[in-house]
Structure 1
């Protein structure tokens, strides 16, 4: 997913404020799921919710005003009721890696109790992991 950096994304130093990368990665995960036939809204309506339970992020270089970024997402790990997405934020102009993160999401019901990942989602994520291995 591509993201253009606007003035509102930057801090007083003229670089992207660190928490904005979390938002970019959230959008990219949503679009990643959509690309693979999964609607976050439809899953939510079916009682399948994916809250973030852990983020490990390494900020390598800054993005600046008007940069065009690409946020890459892949499934890195899969458990019974959670999965981990590996994400990278790269500046498109020069391919520079700006941020890399591992984001773990739990599968919960509307009462926020853990539930198993539905089999069709497990199967999809397993096949996506095999493609990138």
Structure 2
């Protein structure tokens, strides 16, 4: 049985800029992936782990797989709330569940899941997630593996 998490959900605020949109002022679909990437990066930072620091420790996170579902368009100047919730933690990977919502009305615009692999910077071969980072995710509300 999986333990319930009572952690506060993490979200990253961002704004839709002209460069994010197509000729009609609607966010180009691939830019939702960029918004979600930024939220994952900020999630790590909120736990005390800057990606620039991790590179120095022979560690990169790379997207192994992604899945996105689009529900409604974001438009120029919309403020977005982008979540980044870790729902799975393995030896060398994390599974994130993410949503992009419009801030003014909480409308779900896009949602997805991403598997992010932990690899060595030079060889790009899998490596274990450092124990300190693993502990930070568990401390932030992710149940330990096996629960």
Q: Taking structure 1 as the reference length, what is the TM-score of the superposition? A: 0.93
Where structure 2 has 5 or more consecutive residues not aligned to the other structure, the ranges are: 1-11
- Give the aligned partner of residue 84 of structure 1: 95
The answer as to 2:138 corresponding to 1:126 is yes
- How many residues are paired up? 130
Q: Taking structure 2 as the reference length, what is the TM-score of the superposition? A: 0.84
**RMSD of aligned residue pairs (Cα, Å):** 1.1
Task: Give me the whole-angstrom Cα distance separating, in 1, the residues matched to 2:29 and 2:74.
Answer: 10
Deviation of 1:28 (Å): 1.1
- Give the aligned partner of residue 5 of structure 2: none
> Any residues of structure 2 matched to 1:1-133 within 5 Å, and which?
1-110=12-121, 111-128=123-140, 129-130=142-143
Moved more, 87-96 or 2-11: 2-11
Question: 1:50 aligns to what SS in structure 2?
Answer: strand
Which structure's residues are more often helix, by fraction? 1
Task: Give me the whole-angstrom Cα distance separating, in 2, the residues matched to 1:96 and 1:23.
Answer: 19
Task: Give me the whole-angstrom Cα distance separating, in 2, the residues matched to 1:26 and 1:96.
Answer: 20
Task: Give me the whole-angstrom Cα distance separating, in 2, the residues matched to 1:32 and 1:116.
Answer: 19
